[in-house]
Amino acid sequence: MSAYEHEVKALLSAAGVPVPRGVVVDDLDFGRAGELTEPLVLKAFGPGLVHKSDVGAVALGLSRKDLAGAAAGMRARLEVAGFLVEEQAEAGVELIVGLVRDPGFGPVLLTGLGGVWTEALRDTALRLCPISEEDARRMLASLRGSSILYGSRGAPPVDVDAVVKLLMTVGGPGGLWERLELGEFELNPVIAGPSGVIAVDARHLPAPGPAPGAPRAATDFLPLFEPRAVAVVGASTTRPNFGNMFLGFYRAAGVPLVAVHPTAAEVAGVPAVPSLAEADVDYALVAVPAERCAEVLREAGGVPFVQVMSGGFAETGRPDLEEELVEAARAAGTRLLGPNCMGVYSPRGRQTFVGGGLGPAGQVALISQSGGLAGEVIKVGERRGLAFSRVVTVGNSADVTPAELLCWLARDEETRAVGLYLEDPRDGRELFEALRAAELPVVLLVGGRSGQGQEAAASHTGGMVSDRRVWEAVAEQSGAVLVAGQDDLIGVLAFFQAHGSRHARGGVLVVGPSGGASVLAADAFDLAGVRLDPLPPDAPAALRGLGVVASGNPLEVPVGPLGRAGLVPEVVSALLRSRPYGDVVLHVNVQAFFTYGDAAEPLYAYARAVAQAQAALPDTRITLVTRNGECAPPGVEDEVRRIAAAAGIPVYRSMEAAAVAVAAGGRHGVA
């Protein structure tokens, strides 16, 4: 049951939040209102009266003699338990301040333009609680209508410090969010003016908080990624299936291997034991029907990690089978990966769930709730030069969670950047804390952020806290990079892999041919939120001797089959002597090399010159964009990537992809 407004305002007043002076009247005797200053506001309260203005339970601008008549009219139409009479606040900027418990991430604070503008403009910002004072100020500054807070068209600025104090009282450390049984809580409107703020309307819909789970001791996941030996449960002696496919993958990887089969002595040439109880392994993959999985896990005592590949659990409406599976894993003392997941990939540990052999061991990790997408990122990423340390698919995350894995990977000596693909974080609050604690770059790709299906909420706050906006707040507060698609996930990870050890400082310079491409490059970087700094004042003189006109940033420099391969590096070096640029993005039109020339060697020569420039500029991060690369003969792009990768230069096919990656580098505080 929702608390009545005067009860919520008593709570606010005790917390130091200014509220209008008022009195509560249980009948139609309004004598106690004589101590209040007109004009007055009359509000009815009672069961179901949540949105009072929608049902005519609010009257403004009243005198004392108007109260009884207005109250009688409300009582005739509504189920009324009593009335709240308040002094009417002076006009000002109307804001909304609200709290809601997100199912995945817990308490979320929202603020924005309030009153009649809340639904009309939906100009709001959110952060996960607890917020910092910097969070509060960034929230206000991010509003499209923020100018009215700081003084606009001759109006005086509001007391922004008072607004920040209110946000901290509600959503900061020790704030109301910690003390409320939080379903939905909303102050709308809060009137802000030059002399402070006042909460003129308030509502609270309590809801019981989630029962805290028992803390689990930290797990060492090294045996998951580098097992001494692996068992496969579910391979057949008569009909090849998924289990047999994985036996083949593991045999090719060379990891010590055993099959689990009730009767066979061997399966597809792999020695077999009758149950997991007889398997001396660190990791077991289970590929049997969902109904049999719990039985298999009950025999897994002594096996540190069991991955259930099988589907058919909570994701298909069978949470009972998933609960039984988790109970079986706990009884056996094993950690459960999945169910409904593909497994683990780690070249260093000969772990794999994809065919085609193991790629090079590297320093990029991936946590994915989708096995199929993880396989794509591995294969496409390796084709583009990514080298992985650890890849793990978690499926339904019934036991091992993304947050646990991220905490471990953040301390893993073999990992320097982590990507995550998530749909349902399961442990949102723990994941948020892990993201904030991680000191290495983290890239987030989230499925299902569109918020297509949003349940009706009793408050405006509840209606405006969508999955997409919560994830944006998570990224903003944690420093993680939120990307929109798989290609950008791979591209940003490639940037961190190439430039993770280069802590460059300075602006962004874009250099390449073609006026139109330069204009579009400027648009791409602007869309990604990256500012292109102007050329230094002495650029015309510095470039004149090289035959280049200092036209601006992006800078147009001829690059083609008949051009001199070293010209662009010389131009960059000349400019860097006058102004530091932390990022230099070089783009080339690959199509021109094969339309106006007949050999790949001039393109390779350009790539080698760029690689030499990177070696000579350790404090600058060079990124190469090979526009129209599909116009090159087969193998040419791969060779350009190989030359660039050897020098620690990431390569992108489009300016848009490069802009997203460079923006990510800056967001993580290394630009």
Question: Across residues 349-371, what is the average pLDDT?
Answer: 95
Q: What is the pLDDT of residue 453?
A: 36
Over residues 58-81, the pLDDT tens digits come to 999 999 999 999 999 999 989 899
What are residue 25's phi and psi, to 5 degrees? -125, 125
Q: What is the pLDDT of residue 655?
A: 96
Reading the block at residue 488, the tokens are 């950008």
Residues 6+ apart with CB under 8 A from 514: 556, 589
**Nearest CA-CA partner of 666 in 441, 487, 483:** 441
Q: How confident is the model at residue 556 (pLDDT cuts 50, 70, 90)?
A: very high
Question: Across residues 622-639, what is the average pLDDT?
Answer: 94
Q: How confident is the model at residue 540 (pLDDT cuts 50, 70, 90)?
A: very high
Residues 6+ apart with CB under 8 A from 309: 242, 246, 285, 286, 287, 338, 339, 340, 341, 342, 343
How many whole angstroms separate alpha carbon 126 and alpha carbon 469? 7
High-pLDDT (> 70) share of the chain, %: 94
Instruction: Say yes or no to pLDDT of 582 above 60.
Output: yes
Reading the block at residue 596, the tokens are 């106006």
Residue type, 653: R
Q: What is the pLDDT of residue 218?
A: 83
**Nearest CA-CA partner of 461 in 55, 97, 182:** 97
**E strand or H helix that includes residue 422:** strand 417-422
Over residues 293-352, the pLDDT tens digits come to 999 999 999 999 999 999 999 999 999 999 999 999 999 999 999 999 999 999 999 999
Task: Report the side by side order of strands in the sheet with 555-556.
Answer: 555-556, 507-512, 581-589, 621-627, 651-652
Reading the block at residue 610, the tokens are 């760029």
- Where would I find the H helices in 254-289? none
Work out whether the CA dihedral 288, 291, 294, 299 comes out positive or negative.
negative
β-pair partners for 651: 624
Instruction: Say yes or no to pLDDT of 173 above 50.
Output: yes
Range name among 70-79, 147-156, 528-537 with the lowest pLDDT average: 147-156
Instruction: Say yes or no to pLDDT of 562 above 80.
Output: yes
Mean pLDDT of the chain: 90
CA-based diameter of the chain, in Å? 97
Q: What is the pLDDT of residue 447?
A: 87
Report strand pairing: 442-446 vs 344-345: unpaired
How many whole angstroms separate alpha carbon 132 and alpha carbon 138? 10
Instruction: Say yes or no to pLDDT of 114 above 90.
Output: no
Over residues 477-521, the pLDDT tens digits come to 999 999 999 999 999 999 999 998 777 778 999 999 977 888 999
144: number of Cβ within 10 Å: 12
DSSP-based three-state secondary structure for 567: helix
**Nearest CA-CA partner of 59 in 42, 80, 75, 72:** 42
Domains in the chain: ranges and CATH: 21-87 (3.30.1490.20), 93-206 (3.30.470.20), 240-340 (3.40.50.720), 341-501 (3.40.50.261), 502-667 (3.40.50.261)
**Please, are residues 467 and 422 in contact by the beta-carbon 8 Å criterion?**
no
Q: What is the pLDDT of residue 214?
A: 54
Over residues 254-307, the pLDDT tens digits come to 999 999 999 999 999 999 999 999 999 999 999 999 999 999 999 999 999 999
Residues 6+ apart with CB under 8 A from 392: 224, 225, 337, 344, 345, 365, 366, 367, 368, 405
Over residues 427-465, the pLDDT tens digits come to 889 999 999 999 999 999 998 765 533 443 444 444 555
Residues 6+ apart with CB under 8 A from 533: 506, 507, 508, 509, 553, 579, 581
Q: What is the pLDDT of residue 210?
A: 55
Residues 6+ apart with CB under 8 A from 95: 111, 112, 113, 114, 163, 188, 189, 190, 191, 192, 197
Q: What is the pLDDT of residue 451?
A: 52
Reading the block at residue 137, the tokens are 């100020």
